[in-house]
């Protein structure tokens, strides 16, 4: 009976096919971005931003509950709490947990499509899994671009205001001194200070060595040196002695006070908590190159921040492939299972990112390699899951219908429509 019905259906299909061929023009005009692509992009991005709004709202509520005592005790103004702190808190943590939001958006939206048999309908029309990935990759590119712009331009500017608020009204502890500083302030000029205290802008046991042709020609030592905040690069040297060597001759000069221009500032060697977050990417690159030239070793935290911003942006593509491969098929457990796996993978990605960054800062790992380790690991996971996904129509049809005869008729129908187009 079923075979007779499908034979009749085939005859009607052939007749319709001949009539459509006689029509002028092509009624099935192909476009680069089809209506289905636009539908997936809008739904994907809509789910992504909805997840951001939901989770960040919960995070703000928990943060208020945790810090309300500090705000009250330190008499923080309501306007400062809203505009200086939380207005900059939201983009910072949105960007920090962007991998989690990408996973939730992909898995929630795609699982819903699979549950409603929309994925089956797409594949049964001849769409391959690779073609289905196109709108997802476009969405991932938009997310990656937004993430990169936020991390390189928007968040650093807001972090300056947020960190100042935290220092005044939240946690008043900050780094106000540093020990054993050595840096090249000019070509062949090396400065050293045993201790620098920021509260009075004063360094103790200071020395300045000048070399020409790898030979020491001048050696200045001072009991202390103070930065003049009214001028740029101006330092007041006190209780000093200068030794100048010219061939076999040596001249010694002593004094109590000397105003000097030295090409260094306190922020060149006094690193405060979160300082790297307040710099845009061009500023970070300039700072890293400048400090490397000066021989300043404590710059790994800045290198990690610079490379992390790039790596996190590319993570959107990898995590999208993983999420789509996991949730594009119906499985026992449904959306709940997919969400559980996705949230677990996203948190493990953030954990790997934190661990690798810590190894780079405190260990010997190269910062650029360290921040890319999570992406490399998850790229292998993405490739594995992509290969496990049904990448051809027959395989997908058998996976979801479990009836080879029905699949044969469905694919015949789709091939007939494709030939008309």
**pLDDT (average), residues 17-43:** 62
Domain ranges for the chain, please list them.
2-17+32-170+306-420, 177-264
On the question of pLDDT at 27 being above 70, the answer is no
For 56-85, the pLDDT digits (tens) are 999 999 998 988 888 888 888 888 888 889
Mean residue pLDDT of the chain comes to 78
Structural tokens at position 277: 């977050």
- For residue 189, with 0-12 CB atoms within 10 Å meaning exposed, 13-18 middle and 19 or more buried, which class applies? middle
Q: How confident is the model at residue 348 (pLDDT cuts 50, 70, 90)?
A: confident
How many whole angstroms separate alpha carbon 275 and alpha carbon 306?
12
Mean pLDDT of 296-309: 82
Q: Is the pLDDT of residue 241 over 80?
A: yes
Q: Does the pLDDT of residue 401 top 70, yes or no?
A: no
Give me the pLDDT at residue 416, please.
45
Tokens 């939206």 -> residue: 109
pLDDT in tens, 350-386: 888 888 888 887 777 788 888 898 899 999 988 988 8
Q: What is the mean pLDDT of residues 194-217?
A: 86
What distance lies between CA 33 and its chain's CA centroid?
Answer: 28
The percentage of the chain sitting over the pLDDT mark of 70, rounded to a whole number, equals 79
For 70, the token pair is 């500090």
412, 19 contact by CB (below 8 A) = no
pLDDT of residue 216 exceeding 80: yes
Query: Mean of the pLDDT values across residues 244-269?
Result: 83
pLDDT category of residue 393 using cuts at 50, 70 and 90: very low
Question: What integer pLDDT is reported at residue 76 of this predicted model?
Answer: 86
Q: Which range among 217-226, 271-280, 282-291 shows the weakest confidence by mean pLDDT?
A: 271-280
Is pLDDT larger for residue 114 or for residue 294? 114
- Window from 102-111, 137-146, 166-175, 213-222 with minimum mean pLDDT: 166-175
| pLDDT band of 331, cuts 50, 70, 90 | low
What pLDDT is attached to residue 118?
A: 76
DSSP codes, 259-308: EEE-S--GGGT-PPTTGGGGS-HHHHHHHHHHHHHHT----HHHHHHHHH
**Is the pTM value of this prediction over 0.75?**
no
In this model, does residue 42 exceed pLDDT 50?
yes
Residue 265 confidence (pLDDT): 81
| pLDDT the model gives residue 12 | 45
pLDDT of residue 101: 87
- Copy the structure tokens of residue 152: 């390189």
């Amino acid at each position: 009976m079923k075979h007779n019905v499908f034979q009749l259906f085939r005859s009607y299909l052939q007749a319709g096919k001949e009539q459509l061929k006689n029509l002028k023009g092509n009624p099935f005009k192909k476009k680069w971005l089809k209506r289905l692509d636009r539908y997936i992009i809008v739904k994907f991005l809509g789910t992504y931003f909805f997840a951001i709004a939901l989770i960040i709202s919960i995070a703000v509520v928990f943060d208020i509950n945790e810090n309300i005592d500090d705000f009250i005790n330190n008499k923080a103004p309501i306007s400062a709490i809203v505009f200086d702190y939380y207005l900059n808190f939201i983009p910072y943590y949105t960007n920090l947990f962007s991998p989690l939001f990408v996973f939730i958006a992909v898995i929630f939206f795609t699982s819903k499509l699979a549950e409603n048999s929309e994925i089956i309908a797409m594949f049964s029309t001849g769409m391959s899994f690779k073609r289905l990935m196109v709108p997802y990759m476009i969405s991932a590119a938009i997310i990656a671009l937004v993430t990169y712009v936020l991390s390189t331009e928007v968040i650093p500017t807001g972090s300056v205001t947020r960190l100042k608020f935290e220092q005044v009204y939240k946690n008043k502890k900050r780094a106000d001194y540093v020990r054993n500083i050595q840096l090249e302030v000019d070509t062949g000029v090396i400065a050293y200070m045993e201790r620098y205290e920021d509260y009075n802008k004063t360094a103790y046991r200071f020395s300045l060595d000048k070399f020409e042709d790898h030979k020491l020609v001048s050696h200045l030592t001072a009991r202390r040196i103070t930065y003049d905040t009214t001028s740029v690069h101006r330092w007041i040297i006190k209780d000093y002695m200068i030794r100048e060597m010219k061939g076999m001759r040596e001249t010694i000069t002593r004094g109590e006070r000397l105003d000097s221009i030295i090409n260094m500032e306190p922020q060149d060697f006094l690193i405060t908590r979160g300082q790297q977050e307040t710099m845009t990417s061009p500023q970070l690159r300039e700072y890293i190159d400048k400090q490397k030239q000066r021989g300043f070793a404590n710059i790994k935290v800045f290198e990690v921040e610079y490379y992390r911003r790039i790596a996190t942006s590319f993570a959107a593509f990898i995590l999208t492939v993983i999420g789509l491969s996991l949730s594009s098929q119906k499985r026992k457990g449904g959306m709940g299972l997919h969400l559980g796996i996705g949230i677990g993978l996203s948190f493990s990605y953030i954990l790997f990112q934190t661990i690798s960054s810590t190894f780079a800062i405190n260990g010997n790992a190269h910062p650029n390699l360290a921040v890319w380790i999570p992406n490399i690991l998850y790229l292998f996971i993405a490739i594995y899951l992509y290969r496990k996904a049904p990448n051809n129509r027959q395989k997908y049809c058998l996976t979801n219908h479990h009836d080879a005869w029905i699949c044969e008729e469905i694919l015949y129908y789709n091939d007939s429509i494709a030939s008309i187009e």
